[in-house]
Structure 1
Amino acid sequence: MSTTPAPRIAVIGAGPGGLTCARILQKHGITATVYDRDTGPDARDQGGTLDLHADNGQIALREAGLLGEFFRLARHEGQEMRQMDRAGTILFHHIPEQDERFKPEIDRGRLRDLLLNSLQPGTVRWDHTLQTISGPAAGPRQLHFTNGTTIECDLVIGADGAWSKVRRALSQVTPRYSGVSFLETWFHDVSIQHRDIAELVGPGSAAAADGDRGLFAQRNSGDHIRVYIIQRVPADWITAGGLTPQDTSGIRAHLLEHYRDWSPRLRKLITDNDGLYVDRPIFALPVPHTWEHNPTVTLIGDAAHLMPPLGVGVNLAMLDACELALAVAHHNTVDQAIRAYESTMLPRSTETAQLLDGAADDLLSAELPDFATTDHH
């Protein structure tokens, strides 16, 4: 970027993609500011665990200079995977090799802290919810935040997830409901309070499905297990059934009826949870999702290509972040950098999205899925 003044770069969203992008830009001596709607780094639970793959997420961490630290924090045993039928019989069991490093697990919160702590102080501006983007397509752009702040920048990077506000500057498309919904629930202190479940799930993850219903359980650090109850239901199934999200006993009774022919051992994943159920309907962007090139705005991760949760989302977001940051570092103008980045990102994400189009249904399949050995989120 030596031939022109350094561009003013705004990254919207302090998730793994946005933070990875800012970190790699900083490693190349380029300043970027990240704006996030959360009031601070600990404003909310960051979600469960994820596996970072050698062929995408780990590439980004290597470029960010954080791969060694990631391997120290990661749970390599989390790569273990059990696939069961509804009777609880194990049909498939992957036990990782001692030195297997293809896709170790890390809690989202730990990954977020690793990335946050690698950034220069003050990089992330909390409590900044983007409202609108104005200014000519050629730039500079003005970002208007709900707290009354307005900032001017030369490059806007939308790393703001499924319901991206930045996307609206490029595309009128919105995510559509997949027909499949997750209900997330938690188990704490499992080695003492939930020994049966700890044994059933093991050190990694365990899944079961019968074609209409599924369960996916995943070990997190700190002796926690998260379970996702997977159903093919209307997006508003809780309220349509006369229930509220807070009505834990009502939802539990409904689920027990829905899973009545499953084994008692697996039904404990539905009934013995600590706390509420959290409704997570699965949305995806239409395939392919592309847009007219814009010289000052681009997207990474779910903002660009929201797909069903089958193990690629965070990995692709981090690879996008890495490639965009390197493009900015290696091109003379923001416009050239965006063109170079999108020329590889859009075909890659379209190809992956086509593979996963409708794949939310695979989460319910009684057949052993292809991703039993490769992807399992």
Structure 2
Amino acid sequence: MQKNRFRVAIIGAGPGGLCLAQGLKRQGIAFDVYERDAALDSRPQGYRLRINADGQAALRDCLPPQLYALLQASCAQDLGQVQALDVLLNSAAAWNDAWDKEPDLKAHRQTLREALLCGIADRVHFGKELRELGRHSDGRVSFDFADGTRCRADLLVGADGSQSRVAAQCFPSAGGGDTGAVCIYGKAALDSEAVAPLLRRGTSVVFGDDLALVLDAMRFADATSLTPVDDYLYWAMIGRRERFGLGAQLPTADGAVRRWLTTVSEHWATGLRAVFDATPDGTLAMLPVRQACAPLATVAGRVTALGDALHVMSPASGLGCNSALRDAAALATQLSATLAGAATLEQAVARYEHEMRLRAGAALAASTRGGQQLYGAVRGAADGR
């Protein structure tokens, strides 16, 4: 390795991995990103992401100003309105959520990834499914892919999500446990007249019996150079398995999920139930809610990770993506010290991981509280109508 020069390999081209790549490029650090999917859009990966003040600061730190401006312009309009409702669409008790305090960016997930790919596409390699890692006497890390290729780097970063291959091999205790809750996501036609008008004007949090439904009107403004996205109504329902009468095996087929939605919402307001009817086939997903314990100290040296790979958390407080972005910015900053000769790679990684553990611990605690608010302890207050 040349003095103060090194190469970073990033496994995973999600928002966290691509944000880190942008940050490394801005610092002048060599990198490559390896993604198992065949292309950026080869499979659906969700819809709306809310980027809070911390996530926005991380993106500003990592992106060149013109790219951050492009990302901002690609986000949905801030409609301002945040309302708490019951399942009959009456006003419910106020919900003290961070959304009320300062505006978030509302990004379409695929558009966010497309923006983060700008300027670094030649360093992102698709169709690369990680298999094995190895370490060498010179400190470098080797890694093999399912297609038979092998690469080496001075530092390897797992940004490959909650089912991380990197974490499974190097940080096996980092995996998140099943919380007993499930979340179902979808996107509905925003112009459907059958959907209650008040649900199409901003953000709504609907409280039911041991469950909650979050809806967000995604209206996009001026066209950008990124792929256009039609307006849509994002929705996500979260609650405990027993509330929904579900066992360990979750329904996956559209028909089974729709039948479950029909049963759960049988006595809800017609204009709310219409959201599910306005959701096209192929846009539904039901997933278990997983949550990690507070991240422990690691001893992997030249291997580290960020985001869900180390600290997967419930979507209840919308902190998962923001935590990954903060990790990315923090790691890029620490690695810049190595480039300047002020720290070894091992020292930079250790400092990053110390900061990450503190941040992630706080975010995991906030996520737990958010779950209690949405479908647990706060239910009685929210339903007191």
Amino acid of the structure 1 residue aligned with 2:117:
L
Amino acid of the structure 2 residue aligned with 1:303:
A
Q: 1:13 to 1:203 in 2, by over 3 A?
A: farther
Q: 1:236 to 1:161 in 2, by over 3 A?
A: farther
State the partner residue of 1:224: 232
Q: CA RMSD in A?
A: 2.9
Q: Secondary structure at the match of 1:342?
A: helix
What do the CA deviations read for 1:318-346 (whole angstroms, capped 9, x no partner)?
11101101111112321111012112111
Displacement, 1:206?
1.6
Q: Secondary structure at the match of 2:360?
A: helix
Matches within 5 A, 1:134-283: 134-136=134-136, 139-173=139-173, 174-188=175-189, 190-191=190-191, 194-197=192-195, 199-220=197-218, 221=220, 222-233=230-241, 245-246=252-253, 248=255, 250-276=256-282, 277-283=284-290
Q: Does the CA-based 8 Å contact 1:205-1:219 persist in structure 2?
A: yes
Displacement, 1:115?
0.8
What do the CA deviations read for 1:76-123 (whole angstroms, capped 9, x no partner)?
4255322111211133689xxxxx96312111111111110132x411
Gaps of 5+ in 2: 96-100, 221-229
State the partner residue of 2:109: 108
**Among residues 291, 308, 315, which one is paired with 2:314 in the alignment?**
308
Displacement, 1:137?
8.5
Gaps of 5+ in 1: 95-99, 371-377
Q: Secondary structure at the match of 2:172?
A: coil
Amino acid of the structure 1 residue aligned with 2:262:
L
Equivalent residue pairs, number: 356
Q: Secondary structure at the match of 1:268?
A: helix
| Distance in 2 between residues matched to 1:11 and 1:359, nearest whole Å | 31
Are residues 1:338 and 2:349 paired? yes
| Distance in 1 between residues matched to 2:18 and 2:79, nearest whole Å | 24
State the partner residue of 1:317: 324
Identity of aligned residues (%): 26
Are residues 1:291 and 2:297 paired? yes
Q: 1:86 to 1:345 in 2, by over 3 A?
A: same
Displacement, 1:236?
11
| Distance in 1 between residues matched to 2:311 and 2:113, nearest whole Å | 21
Q: Does the CA-based 8 Å contact 2:244-2:264 persist in structure 1?
A: no
Q: 1:279 to 1:246 in 2, by over 3 A?
A: same
Q: 1:170 to 1:235 in 2, by over 3 A?
A: farther
State the partner residue of 2:375: 364
Are residues 1:350 and 2:361 paired? yes
Amino acid of the structure 1 residue aligned with 2:231:
D
What TM-score do you get using the length of structure 2 for normalisation?
A: 0.83
Q: 1:235 to 1:142 in 2, by over 3 A?
A: farther
What TM-score do you get using the length of structure 1 for normalisation?
A: 0.85
Q: Secondary structure at the match of 1:91?
A: coil
Q: Does the CA-based 8 Å contact 1:158-1:166 persist in structure 2?
A: yes
Q: 1:60 to 1:369 in 2, by over 3 A?
A: farther
